[in-house]
Amino acid sequence: MKRMLEIWRHHKILATAFAVMAVITLALGLRLAFFSVYWATHRDLPVEAWMPLGYIARSHGIPVDRLKQVTDGNVGDRDRRAVSEVAGEMGITTRQLIERLEKEIAAYKQERRIGAGS
């Protein structure tokens, strides 16, 4: 404890910088652990009306651009609208869009299996 007080007295800026960096490192480590556990338990979820395309893509391990192709250009970059909203804009039912997305996901996964087997 004496050593820490001595360091603080003689190197306040350095000790403060170290403490700040230690807190940042801890926060980023906790964030990494949270997201790792979250996405490990949220793999291959069934597509639902509330989900944005990015969430679906992440859950199924498919590029989001591949899912955007199904929407005929109705979804832009960083678009976080739910599937139900996109379907409404496209003039189709939510169920129809979900079926299209599921078909695209299945096709992508089949392509990956074929590519991995070669």
Helix (H, G, I), strand (E, B) or coil at 81: coil
Residue 52 phi, psi dihedral angles, 5° rounding: -80, 160
- What count of residues does the chain have? 118
What does the pLDDT profile of the chain (118 residues) look like in tens digits?
A: 888 888 888 989 999 999 999 999 999 999 999 999 988 888 999 999 999 999 999 999 999 999 999 998 778 888 899 999 999 999 999 999 999 999 999 999 999 888 776 5
Residue written as tokens 């955007």?
68
Angle CA 79–72–67, to nearest 5? 60
Q: Domain extents for the chain? A: 2-41, 53-117
**pTM of the prediction?**
0.74
Dihedral angle sign, alpha carbons of residues 27, 28, 34, 35? positive
Residue 77, Cα to own-chain centre: how many angstroms? 14
Helix (H, G, I), strand (E, B) or coil at 8: helix
Angle CA 93–95–100, to nearest 5? 100
Residue 78, Cα to own-chain centre: how many angstroms? 12
